[in-house]
Structure 1
Amino acid sequence: MSSLYPDKMAEIYDAMYQSFIDYNKEYTFYNTLLQKNSPESILEIGSGTGNLAHYFIENKQNYTGLDYSKSMIAIAEKRNPSGRFIHGDMRDFNLEQKTDAIIITSRSTSYLITNNDINDTFKTLYNNLNSNGIIIFDFIDASRFIPYIRENDTIVHSVLYKGVNYIRKSDWEISSQDNFILEWTAKYYEAEDSNIIANDYATVRVFTLHEMQLFLYLNHFEILQTIDRKTYAYDTYVIVAKKKNPEHRLRIF
């Protein structure tokens, strides 16, 4: 994760995702889930360039955004001058004050490659939540995504943003490692026949629903809701889970 989205990539990411995602609908989706639990404070992990943050801030909710990319945070702060954004790693951070709800958006869980990464993340979320706090996060469903990429060599996404036709061509290679590891290569163009304007490479992980359920169980979260959700490019699951009180935590000997 050390080179996640430098300056140029952050700008291209921001431009493309403006068209990929309807952030107003995205906000409605997450806020509806959040308000079932009436949180007074919200942390978004993977806040990126602050598109979703804009709606939380506009509605005067107690919102903080956390992202691993300083370049993305810079764009988010420019877009949301009154917002609060912090640089951090979802696997290991400490808030000044614990929060009532944590959301991990934009399939950021894909960057949790190892089991230790996942366990460290859930442990960190647990430690930064108030009593009975909730987490909401999405992840790419391995059982559907892996067959899809095996049958589609190159996946093309095209968007028009501010008069520029951005094209992303993605290739996926299934790693020989365990845990449904994928090597993702993406090339970005401003038109079909133009030169490459940026390259993006990442090692990512996709998950089955059952293994994610087990990770939550082992890290003292109770699942409240599981939603099968199609996004602009991926079949995902969204999970809402609640922090268990210490007396209800699993004892491992």
Structure 2
Amino acid sequence: MANLYDGKMAAIYDAMYQTFVNYDDEYAFYNNLITENNASSVLEIGSGSGNLAKRFHKNNQNYIGLDYSEDMIAIAKERNKNGTFIKGDMRDFQLNETVDCILITGRSTSYLISNQDINKTFECLHKNLNNEGIIIFDFIDANRFIPFTKENPVITHEADYQDIHYIRESHWDTNMSLENFMLEWSAKYYALINGKKEMIENDFSTVRVFTRNEIELFLYLNHFEILQTIDRKTYAYDTYVIVAKKIKL
């Protein structure tokens, strides 16, 4: 699992994503799916700096956040004084009580590099869900994303937050020596300071993108029934969102 968004990167991530993502729309999207499936207790995996958590708490919902980064959790706790956040790994965690719904947000499935990672994650989700509980998660569509990266070798995102203009230049390389559909992602982060572009951080990770057939088979093998597949555009990449129900063993 990549050690993303620790230290200085956590604050940069939080600042940039305030303008990348409309969190009110993001909350409404996920909450509609939760409500449609009559779920009352929610675990969000990849809860990050607590932006969705803020909306769940505002509406007095039974919410827990789980993230791999202690620094992101620190920001989330500052933003949500009475919130519950757990440091954990989506491949291996145990809640005190099972929940009705588990979300994996922010394309966090991209950091499940191996088939073993994916199977362990779905197995872990299964055991932490109530009977007939649901999972909702997004993933980057390999069939569309890999050609996009070939045609766009450098992808630039810009954001203004608290009077600072941030720029992120991302580069994606398809590594044919690696298993599955994996890409090496590198990014340079800049801020415009006194009119000058100054580098503030570098980031690198290996990520995985998926085909729909892969995801469907992983879910079938791990005792989930797909209820809905949603083709959804995000601020950067075309994704699919899956809603799947736990099948009782």
Structure 2-normalised TM-score? Answer: 0.97
Equivalent in the alignment of 1:242: 245
2-structure distance, mates of 1:120, 1:109: 12
Cα distance in 2 between the residues matched to 1:178 and 1:82? 42
Q: Is the 8 A contact 2:67 2:89 kept in 1?
A: yes
Q: Aligned residue for 2:232?
A: 229
User: Which secondary structure state, in structure 2, belongs to the residue aligned with residue 60 of structure 1?
Assistant: coil
Q: CA RMSD in A?
A: 0.9
1:184 and 2:185 are equivalent in the alignment: yes
Q: Unpaired runs of 5+ in structure 1?
A: 247-253
Give the letter aligned to residue 208 of structure 2.
R
Displacement of 1:196 after TM fit? 1.1
Correspondences of 1:49-198 after superposition (within 5 Å): 49-175=49-175, 176-191=177-192, 193-198=196-201
Query: How far apart are 1:9 and its partner, in Å?
Result: 0.2
What is the Cα deviation at residue 195 of structure 1?
2.4
| Amino acid in the other structure paired with 1:233 | A
Give the superposition deviation at 1:74. 0.1
Helix, strand or coil: the match of 1:194? strand
In structure 2, C-alpha distance between the alignment counterparts of 1:40 and 1:232, rounded to whole Å:
28
Q: Which moved more, 1:174-183 or 1:209-218?
A: 174-183
Tell me how far apart the structure 2 counterparts of residues 195 and 36 of structure 1 sit (CA, whole Å).
Answer: 46
* d(CA) in 1 for partners of 2:41, 2:57: 12
Offset of 1:5 from its aligned partner? 1.4
| CA apart distance, 1:193 | 4.6
What amino acid does structure 2 have at the position aligned with 1:168? R
Q: Give the partner amino acid of 1:197.
A: I
* Unmatched 5+ stretches in structure 2: none
The residue number in structure 2 matching 1:210 is: 213
Please give the alpha-carbon distance, in whole angstroms, between the structure 1 residues aligned to 2:165 and 2:45: 29
Structure 2 SS opposite 1:93:
coil
Distance 1:125 1:141 in 2: 22
SS in 2 for 1:136: strand
How far apart, in 2, do the equivalents of 1:185 and 1:193 lie? 22
Paired residue total = 246
The answer (yes or no) to whether the contact 2:2–2:111 under 8 Å persists in 1 is no
CA contact (8 A) 2:2 2:205 kept: no
- TM-score using structure 1 length: 0.96
For residues 2 and 172 of structure 1, the distance between their equivalents in structure 2, rounded to whole angstroms, comes to 16
